[in-house]
A and B are shown apart, each in its own frame.
Chain A
Amino acid sequence: MKKMFIIFVIFLLSLSTFVIAEENDRTIRDRVTDRVYDVEDKIREGTDTAGVVARRVTAEVREAREKVSSLRERYANSKQNYSDKKEELLQSKERYRECLSSDTENCKLKIKDTKRNAKEHLINSADLILNYLEELKNKIEASEDMTDEEVSELIGEIDENIAEVEEAKSVLEGITEDSSGEEIKEAADTIKDAWKNVKVHAYKARLRHIGAKLNKLITKAEMFGDRAEEKAAEINSEELNSMIVDYNSKVQSARESYELAKGKWREATALDELNVFVRETNKYLKDANDYLKEARRQLQQVIRELKKSNQEISLEVEEVEE
């Protein structure tokens, strides 16, 4: 009887784990589905021209969203592989140099070993770039913040970049432990050149993707400011009006920083200036985000102030298809 009880308790414990896992999975699935249906409904009903323009949530967008975490994980793994092998290769550098002028069996093995590691390092580098591009492509495909044209343009460029890196990677596959130093250097140059060609596009695509997110958030913040102004006109409170002016000024600053960022990433065309442009663009994008953060805090105060007069504004925004 006691044994029966123990088995029952263990069964209960195991069952609870499955139930929770299932519940968790279902909750996440339901939330994603609800959100998708919500956006779709809004799009169908969407005749409100004051809404924020969003991309239609198609099957492709949904599919891209489902792949986000697995691609993120894949990129993280390739980053780890890349770092480990790079470290290993760097550690063998000194010994390799010494061995070049030696004929001992140990040195011959060391040289072969280093060349094998060099090949793995180069292939890991190619995989790192490819997984970075795949993750970026997926983020853009899953984005609701860009227009279909922007998405197509960027995806087209990324696909070309992926093909270029894949081609360079195939050259790396030809390296063997008997390849000469010169052959390895040439193969390394192939992937290096491919990366040089890809880097500008890839970095710009990332900046445009984040910029699009901020642009949408700024547009929404501007709409909230208009709504607050409308409500405040009915109340006529100096304190509230001043809060809204402050809020609008922060949103305006966010818009200005965003426009500066946009100007910068458009300017970036050459690799040698890329780091400077990226640094400056990042700064403007962060500034825009900081202003949005401050604006949101101010908006919360505005909402509290409105509530005192039994007024409220909606933070829901119609998302309409372009």
Chain B
Amino acid sequence: MKKLIFILLVLALLFIVGCTKETSQQESEDAETEDAGYIGDIDSELDTSDLDNLDEDLDLGWI
């Protein structure tokens, strides 16, 4: 039983360390994007494909 508790404690510690590391990585990625000097994902910012065919989709002449 003590072993089980020990393993759970270790897992809890690993979980905390893992999450903290992920947060700091995310922060550094965000900082890099802000300071990149260019727009990181301009394609998605310019993308209007969802709306480009709306005129045709609104054509309900067949009803």
Contacts and interface: CB of A to CB of B under 8 A. Distances in A.
Interface of A: 2, 5-6, 9, 12-13, 16, 20, 23-24, 27, 31, 79, 82, 86, 93, 96-97, 114-115, 118, 121-122, 125, 128-129, 132, 181, 184-185, 188, 191-192, 195-196, 199, 203, 206-207, 210, 213-214, 217, 220-221, 275, 278, 282, 285-286, 289, 292-293, 295-296, 299, 315
B25 to A, nearest CB: 12
Interface of B: 1, 5, 8-9, 12, 15-16, 19-20, 23, 27, 30, 35-39, 42-43, 45-46, 48, 50-52, 54-55, 57-63
Given A125-B54, A206-B48, A220-B37, A23 B23 contact: yes
Given A97-B62, A185-B61, A210-B39, A286 B46 contact: yes
A3 to B, nearest CB: 10
Interchain residue pairs A-B with the least CB separation, the first 3: A296-B37, A292-B38, A192-B58
A31 B63 CA distance: 54
Nearest to A194: B58
A12 B27 CA distance: 26
A120 to B, nearest CB: 12
Contacts of B39: 210, 213-214, 217, 289
A90 B54 CA distance: 14
Given A13-B12, A125-B57, A125-B58, A132 B37 contact: no
A191 B60 CA distance: 11
Contact of A217 (B9, B27, B38, B51): B38
A82 B51 CA distance: 11
A184 B48 contact: no
B63 A118 contact: yes
B48 A296 contact: no
A287 B50 CA distance: 23
B12 A188 contact: no
A188 B59 contact: yes
